Amino acid sequence: MTPETGVKAIAGTQADVQMADLLDDKARDEALQFEAAGLYLDLRRQKLDLDGWRALLKQAEGLKIDAQIARLFAGEIVNGTEQRPALHPACRNAALLGDAPAGAALSEARQKTRAFAEQVGRPDCLDGHPVRRIVNIGIGGSDLGPRFVYDALKAFRRVGIDTRFVSNLDPADLDDALEGADAETTLILVISKSFTTQETLMNARAARAWIVERLGEEGVAPRFAAATACPDKAREFGLEEARIFPFPDGVGGRYSLWSAAGLALEVGLGAEVFDRLLAGARAMDEHVATAPLARNMPVAKALIDVFNRAGRGLPSRCVAAYSSRLERLASYLQQLEMESLGKSVNAEGGPLAESHCGPLVWGGRGSDLQHSVFQWLHQGLDEAPVDFIAIADHGRTDERVRALNANLAAQGAALTHGRVGEGELAAHTAIAGGRASATFVMETLSPEALGALLALHEHKVFVEALFYGLNPFDQWGVELGKSLARSILSGDMAGFDGPARDLTHRLGLD
């Protein structure tokens, strides 16, 4: 029996469980609440009794999760299809790799980005001018991670420096990022692992033209920097060696914000804030590596998510963040989880045991979702578990904050208990309840808490992949569309079907 098959069998034993009846079980209460690295996680609102939870832990024991985490942290090959390690934990703690050359390279890269972050703070950084606008050009992990973290920690940004992000090929995206900017005080960051990504290079060329138009060719070099795993290609693009910041192939795009690919964070927020972000992630790394299985927060969340997806067959999960600063959390998790767990084959190339992979992830700001999709969550025919993300902010007395958090608490209770319909509209007003949710609480939205939250989800995905038996570190599906787009742009339509040919004509691409 595979771990995933075992989870499905456990779910079968829970079919008649009534969630509301489980909430007075003190032993279950203790088992399904977790605290680590400044985060609190409540998993009590799940369709799972204590015996079921213990059975899930038993399945997890067979995966030897501690040994697999140790392999990840030691920089061993965990990405089998590409024969690479996954070095994102080492980006925030190079000591994990011991005396290995990769660890020394990461330390050297951090020293280089740190020196540049300090330089950005000087009034003569840009050929005698200060930095007032940073424009980060990237896509995928080179955009989503840094963009989300910057938005989340905007209250900590460097005074007088505005950081904006560009990923879309629509010219309006770059136009908006440069709106109101002075070329003399603008720093362009080009973030691309391969330095061949079409969207990134096209936008970088457009940004270069914008600088040249205003300052001439001599204005380009002081105002461009890059982070890449292919420094040679960055040099071919015309960037100065001192402004090229390397990171290794073993850092996947969706995990890369901890590396030089997070340059916009280190320079836009400042070195101290970035260090605090790293410290929070390291605290979660320490927890996942040392906490007993039954008290391990990332493992617990992974077990619940696998239980709901593979066990109960629920195809999606909603992430409802009750914070405007965390508006992009769902988008960030979409890439992290769906690019990692959206696979149809196992790590050996065979079919997945139960034809399950990770769920579709969606969501947004909780207070906004309440006035739109929560109708579907409460009364729709399909159940989607909800992750509530709360910020306690105990020190604040603003009535809006109190109302915001009251709404979060109320929605979790409503999903659990529902409502009995009354009167002539009883059938319409009745809400069944019994729908699963999990709640994360951060005391404040600090760099440390955010770093811990992101590292938790990285480790959660790693554990889920062990259950499904797949490789979470490759993304071959992403590459196919890119390859076909290049063929269309080159005029090579061999092998394309009629609708594709018609569309290229309609769009003026032929």
**Contact criterion met (CB below 8 Å) for 50 and 27:** yes
Q: Are strands 437-442 and 39-42 parallel, antiparallel or unpaired?
A: antiparallel
Is the pLDDT at 1 greater than 80, yes or no?
no
User: What is the percent of the chain where pLDDT is above 70?
Assistant: 99
Torsional sign, CA 446, 447, 448, 454: positive
Is the pLDDT at 218 greater than 90, yes or no?
yes
CA dist 356 and 288 (Å) reads 25
**Rounded mean pLDDT of 160-174?**
97
**Contact criterion met (CB below 8 Å) for 5 and 353:** yes
Q: Which residues belong to the active site?
A: 339, 371, 482
For residue 205, the one-letter residue type is R
**Rounded mean pLDDT of 138-146?**
95
Give CB contacts under 8 A, 24+ apart, made by 398-407.
Answer: 404/322, 404/367, 405/322, 407/322, 407/366, 407/367, 407/370
> What are the Cα distances from residue 27, in Å, to 58, 307, 438?
17, 20, 18
pLDDT at 481: 81
pLDDT at 228: 96
Is the pLDDT at 486 greater than 90, yes or no?
no
Q: Examine domains 3-62+291-419+431-468 and 88-275 and report if their fold is the same.
A: yes
* Span 311-368, pLDDT tens digits: 999 999 999 999 999 999 999 999 999 999 999 999 989 888 666 789 999 999 999 9
DSSP state of 12: H
CA dist 112 and 99 (Å) reads 19
CA dist 365 and 367 (Å) reads 6
* Span 230-248, pLDDT tens digits: 999 999 999 999 999 999 9
* Span 379-402, pLDDT tens digits: 999 999 999 999 998 767 889 999
pLDDT at 489: 84
**Contact criterion met (CB below 8 Å) for 32 and 47:** no
Q: What is the third-level CATH fold of 3-62+291-419+431-468?
A: Rossmann fold (3.40.50)
Higher pLDDT, 480 or 328: 328
Q: pTM for the whole thing?
A: 0.95
- Give the mean pLDDT of the chain: 95
Is the pLDDT at 152 greater than 80, yes or no?
yes
* Span 405-444, pLDDT tens digits: 999 999 999 999 999 999 999 999 999 999 999 999 999 9
Per domain, the residue ranges of the chain are 3-62+291-419+431-468, 88-275, 477-506
Is the pLDDT at 157 greater than 80, yes or no?
yes
pLDDT at 491: 87
Architecture of domain 88-275: 3-Layer(aba) Sandwich (3.40)
pLDDT at 395: 67
pLDDT at 167: 97
Is the pLDDT at 293 greater than 80, yes or no?
yes
Is the pLDDT at 189 greater than 90, yes or no?
yes
Token pair of 227 as six digits: 């982070």
pLDDT at 355: 64
For 457, half-sphere exposure in the C-beta direction (CA atoms, 13 angstrom radius) is 24
State the angle between helix axes of 144-152 and 447-468 in degrees (0 to 180), rounded to the nearest 10: 140
The residues pairing with 165 across neighbouring beta strands, listed in sequence order, are 136
